[in-house]
Structure formats: structure tokens, C-alpha cells
Amino acid sequence: MNLEKLIPYEAEIKKCFRCSLCKMAPLAVYRDVRFSNNCPINNYYQFHAWSGSGQQFMALALAQGRIEADQKLADIVFSCRSCGYCDVACKYIMDAERHLVNMALKETLAEGGFAPEEHKAACANIREHGSPFGSPAEPWENGLGIKQASRQKAKVLLWAGCSARHDPRAARTTRQFARILQKAKVDFAILGEGESCCGLPAYWSGFGDLFTQSAHKAGTAMERSGAKTVVCVCGACLGAMRSKFPAYGVRVDAEILHATEYLERLIKKGRLKLEAPEPMRVTYHDPCYLGRQAEPYIHWKGVEKTAFGQMTYTDPPKKMRYGTEGVFDAPRAVLNSIPGLDFAEMYRIREYALCCGAGGGMAEAHRPMAQKSAASRIEEARDVGAQCLVTACPHCRNHLEQTARDNGLDIQVADIVDLTARAAGIQ
């Protein structure tokens, strides 16, 4: 097995002293024992291997040749959501790169042929059809009279994300967002059939080469559109573009915003008026790839050095990313602009948010575990009295909604775009 991606991380991995903070909310934000566990896989399996630290130790044992890769090991590694919580939690106590080790481990195993069949199938679909879905693509934009970027230039490019062509709920949300832009008289275009997957499912699955190809393709299409601003409706696409594209060498000069950031601008400039009241209590779930995982990439070139045989440091000093620079404020500002909405925060929020369980592209393959995470999130929402759990990513919305339905949990789940459209009088 080729271990060249893991070996450079040996010193990094050895910084882990198994304190287990990566499984829990740090004390600074801890409010209630029921909502203190923050690693979805550890919550479910309750064994150290299924945790951020467990990933580090499996990576180290592989890198040092003490164990061989096998399917059991791969099953544990790929059950991880790559939600990035352990990375942020570990940085609460030390400067360490847990997420990079996690991804190097997944890439090593995927190259060795150990990726789960569901991941291989999604990646084959991206290669052949430009999206991870096996279903036929349906246009979401019919009848809206939107400019096609291939024929007409516009200042703004609306990036729908591939869910919009394969999932009717996501299609409706994207249509609502387009109608908001039309109401605010924004000059925008779409790529239509020319839009392909941002590649994030390949990233999650450890297929780094496919992710790089997909990111290049998406980045080139965005640049060719000539738009100065790209607005993503999907939170996962935003995280891929802002954080992972540059990490894999794909540069896009256009400003890249999430729908909530663009909505906040429209509201502040008075171009979007929210007047239809929504009298209910809501809370907000931070999607991992819109939140901590969307923190912009920071390039660093240098060497890691060792002092006194054990201590490691970087030369020049590496600027760490703590997950705090993701898209956290804009969704809250939009919700607080909707008249009648009573907004209440949950306990595990912002960079310390609990993954809904759908991350890592494995909601289907590890359904009971994924649903346990979503059910915990719904319980937390109900604990703060929310009638509606709002989020800003089609994957989180679908998974939370499905979990509520399957378990008879009494709560509405909504995308922030749909709520905003209603408040703007768009039905």
C-alpha cells in the first residue's frame, strides 16, 4: 500500500495524547450533559477507534507499518463524516491538523481500493454524468426566464449545486432563491446544464484526484461565465469552493458567497423587504461545510521541525484555522430580519455545531448512526422550544426532515431560503 500521503503527518499525529476532547463540546460552551457529545460516530459506537483521536492512531499505525489496511479498518475510517468537529475541538487545546490527517487517511485507503461501494458509485457518477446522483437530471429553472451564462453575461452567477437537478425539494428552494433575486432586480445568470458537481462527495470519499478535476471544471465554468460574484444556494458547495478548492490548487477570482450572505446584503441595502410575518420560534443548525469547514484556506509553505526529541513546531509559524471564520453570522442576521420570528440558539453552535449526520456522503450507508446524530440535533432544537429547525444546506435539511418523519418527532424543518422567500411574499 502506498503510504506517502500519511508518512509526512507522523509528527503531527503523535501530538495526540488521547484526552478525548475531540468527542465532546468544550467546557466553555458546555450547557447540558444531553448535548455534550459532538462526534457523531463516537456517539453511536462509543469506542475510541470511532473518534477523531482514533483516526489519528489508525493513521499512525498504518504509516509505521504496524498494521495492514483491511476492510474492517476502512469501514471505521469511512464511517467518519469528515465534519471537522474533532479538528476544531483539538485546536481548543493545541495547534494540530486533525482534519488533514483524516483526509490523508481516507485518500490512502481509497487509493488502496478500500472505499465503500456507495462512495465508489457516487464517484463513478461524478466521472460519467457530472453529479453523484444516479438519477436523471431535471432542470429546476423552467418557466423562470433566467439568463443562461453560456449566451448572456451577468454580474452574478447563481450556483445551484447538483441537488437542484436531482432532488425536488432542493429544486424548489433554488427556484425560490432565483425568484428572490428577480424580485430584488439582481442581474444574474445560471450555468444550467453546464453546471457540474463541485466534487465535494469525491473529497469526502478520499478520491482527491477526482475532487481536483471536478473543482477545476467547476472553477473554469465560473470564470468563463464572466460573473464577478458567484452565489451558492448549497452550503456544501460553498465550503468546497471557499476552503477546499484553493487547498487543491484551484483558484477562482470571482467573489464566492453563500445565499445567506447575499440575502443579508440585499436586506441591508433595502433591496429585499421582508414584511410577511412568520410568527413562530425557530432555531438554526450550522451545516458543517457552511460553518467551520467553510473557513477560507490559508496557504502555508514551510517545514515542521522537532526540538528536544519530542516537541514539534513550524518554521515559519503556520497560521492555523480554528473554524471560526465560516458563514455563521449571515444566516442569523437573515433570520433576525424576518418579522415575527422568535430566534433561539441551541447549545452546540457555530464552530462547535454537531454534524446532522449526513456529512461524509454516508447518510445512506450508515443510516442508524446518521439518524442518531440528527435525532440528537432535533432534541436540542425542541429543548430550546423551537417549532422549526432551520438550516442552509439541502443535505442537512433533507436528512433532518427525514429523521423527524421516520421517528415521529414533532418539528418542522426548513431551508432559510424558503422562509425568506415566504417573508418576502413569494409563495
Nearer of residues 82 and 174 to ligand SF4, judged by Cβ: 82
Amino acid at 174: T
Amino acid at 226: G
The strand ranges marked E within 70-145 are none
d(CA 217, CA 205): 19
CB of 30 to ligand SF4, least distance (A): 15
d(CA 422, CA 427): 6
Nearer of residues 51 and 229 to ligand SF4, judged by Cβ: 51
In terms of phi and psi (left: phi > 0; alpha: psi -120 to 50; beta: otherwise), the region of 322 is alpha
For residue 242, the 8-state DSSP code is: I
Question: Nearest to residue 123, comparing CAs of 114, 132, 115?
Answer: 132
Please tell me whether residue 52 binds ligand SF4 under the rule CB under 6 A.
yes
CB of 93 to ligand SF4, least distance (A): 6
Candidates 5, 44, 53, 162: give the one binding ligand SF4 (CB under 6 A). 53
Q: With 0-12 CB in 10 A as exposed, 13-18 as middle and 19+ as buried, what is 185?
A: exposed
d(CA 209, CA 202): 8
Question: Nearest to residue 157, comparing CAs of 166, 168, 165, 148?
Answer: 148
Nearer of residues 19 and 124 to ligand SF4, judged by Cβ: 19
Please tell me whether residue 74 binds ligand SF4 under the rule CB under 6 A.
no
Candidates 6, 22, 115, 222: give the one binding ligand SF4 (CB under 6 A). 22
**Distances, alpha carbon 44 to alpha carbons 50, 285, 406, in Å:** 9, 20, 18
Piece of the chain touching ligand SF4 by CB under 6 A; list 47-55, 112-120, 248-256, 258-266: 47-55
Candidates 2, 4, 18, 407: give the one binding ligand SF4 (CB under 6 A). 18
Q: With 0-12 CB in 10 A as exposed, 13-18 as middle and 19+ as buried, what is 337?
A: middle
Piece of the chain touching ligand SF4 by CB under 6 A; list 39-47, 173-181, 211-219, 229-237: 39-47
Candidates 8, 10, 20, 112: give the one binding ligand SF4 (CB under 6 A). 20
Piece of the chain touching ligand SF4 by CB under 6 A; list 67-75, 79-87, 378-386, 388-396: 79-87
Candidates 69, 84, 218, 393: give the one binding ligand SF4 (CB under 6 A). 84
- The separation between CA 171 and the C-alpha centre of its own chain, rounded to angstroms, equals 19
Piece of the chain touching ligand SF4 by CB under 6 A; list 20-28, 125-133, 393-401, 411-419: 20-28
Piece of the chain touching ligand SF4 by CB under 6 A; list 86-94, 231-239, 306-314, 387-395: 86-94
Candidates 6, 21, 60, 189: give the one binding ligand SF4 (CB under 6 A). 21
Question: Nearest to residue 35, comparing CAs of 411, 347, 357, 351?
Answer: 347
What number of chain residues touch ligand SF4 (CB under 6 A)? Answer: 27
Piece of the chain touching ligand SF4 by CB under 6 A; list 34-42, 66-74, 161-169, 201-209: 34-42
Estimate the crossing angle of helix 71-79 against helix 98-111, to 10 degrees. Answer: 140
| Upstream peptide bond of 316 is cis (omega within 30 degrees of 0) | yes
Residues 344-373 within binding reach of ligand SF4 (CB under 6 A): 355
- For 375, the grid coordinates are 435525532
Candidates 98, 166, 217, 395: give the one binding ligand SF4 (CB under 6 A). 98
Please tell me whether residue 260 binds ligand SF4 under the rule CB under 6 A.
no
Please tell me whether residue 48 binds ligand SF4 under the rule CB under 6 A.
no
- The separation between CA 426 and the C-alpha centre of its own chain, rounded to angstroms, equals 28
The strand ranges marked E within 217-340 are 229-232, 255-258, 280-284, 303-307, 311-315
d(CA 255, CA 401): 32
Nearer of residues 13 and 190 to ligand SF4, judged by Cβ: 13
Query: What's the alpha-carbon Rg for the chain, to the nearest Å?
Result: 21
Nearer of residues 355 and 424 to ligand SF4, judged by Cβ: 355
For residue 146, the 8-state DSSP code is: P
Residues 312-331 within binding reach of ligand SF4 (CB under 6 A): none
Question: Nearest to residue 196, comparing CAs of 175, 177, 214?
Answer: 214
Candidates 9, 25, 44, 55: give the one binding ligand SF4 (CB under 6 A). 55
CB of 347 to ligand SF4, least distance (A): 17
Please tell me whether residue 394 binds ligand SF4 under the rule CB under 6 A.
no
Nearer of residues 159 and 207 to ligand SF4, judged by Cβ: 207
User: Which strand (E) or helix (H) includes residue 368?
Assistant: helix 367-383
CB of 251 to ligand SF4, least distance (A): 26
Candidates 37, 40, 348, 417: give the one binding ligand SF4 (CB under 6 A). 40
Interface positions with ligand SF4 (CB under 6 A) = 16-22, 39-41, 51-53, 55-56, 80-86, 89-90, 98, 102, 355
